[in-house]
Amino acid sequence: MDDQEARWLEQARQGDREAFGRLVEAYQRPVYNLAYRMLGNPQEAEDAAQETFLRAYANLAQYQPGRKFSTWLLSIANHHCIDRLRKRRVKKLSIDENPVLQNLAGELPQPENQALAQEQHRIVQQLLAQLAPEYRTPLILRYWEEYSYEEIAQTMELTVAAVKSRLFRARQQMARLYLEQESAAAPPPGQPQPDRHRQAAGEEPDSQPRRLQMAVAGGWL
């Protein structure tokens, strides 16, 4: 948080709604992205993001200035998303609509590379949807928001050791699910396997999801 945002936060804590509105503008994307990755549905993610900011505003008096504001905010979002998932029970997550794909994919120079990135994101989102929330959240924070272990621990109210353990288990589950999916999609014996992972030389897809895709496909460190 820079000095300007710190001033907005202090003003918001004193009841200045306009100052809090500026904080919403500054943090709406990471909150929405976390909600979308957790819930898998764009409309529900928007509702969850709005509810997160409403709860944050109502509880500003409980915010501890020594704590990073973004981790406090995403902690509220995480708890709210988990509550929504619990209420769903066994309702299937929607993974077909992906309006934030372009934001996550970044600038892709060639249409065919963009199509490849979209397919990779679809696969990753499909795998994420099969993870329990306690494993989904640290993956999102680590690979999309690039949070440190310490920041994830603060957001999820866990120890650093617990975060590392959950990330390890989550990556194992993702790798297992990925291999099962690849095996199910393999052509019958004797038919050539299409190269679905080929990309043009010199072109790199987006960094954060790509790190996760490489880890799933190639093993975990």
Q: Spell out the domain ranges in the chain.
A: 1-100, 109-185+203-221
Domains 1-100 and 109-185+203-221 share a fold: no
User: Where is pLDDT greater, at 100 or 15?
Assistant: 15
Q: CATH classification of 1-100 is 1.10.1740.10, yes or no?
A: yes
Go through 187-215 and write b for each residue having 16 or more CB atoms within 10 A of its CB, e for each that does not.
eeeeeeeeeeeebeeeeebbeebbebbeb
Q: Span 27-33, mean pLDDT?
A: 95
pLDDT digits (tens, 9 = 90+) for 130-177: 999 999 999 999 988 889 999 999 999 999 999 999 999 999 998 898
pTM as predicted: 0.66
Residue 196, pLDDT above cutoff 70: no
Say which CATH architecture domain 109-185+203-221 belongs to: Orthogonal Bundle (1.10)
Q: What is the largest CA-CA distance in the chain?
A: 70
Rounded CA separation 69/12 (Å): 13
Q: How confident is the model at residue 82 (pLDDT cuts 50, 70, 90)?
A: very high
* 10, 26, 62 from 4: Cα distances, Å: 10, 11, 21
The answer to whether 155 and 147 have CB atoms below 8 angstroms apart is: yes
The answer to whether 70 and 57 have CB atoms below 8 angstroms apart is: no
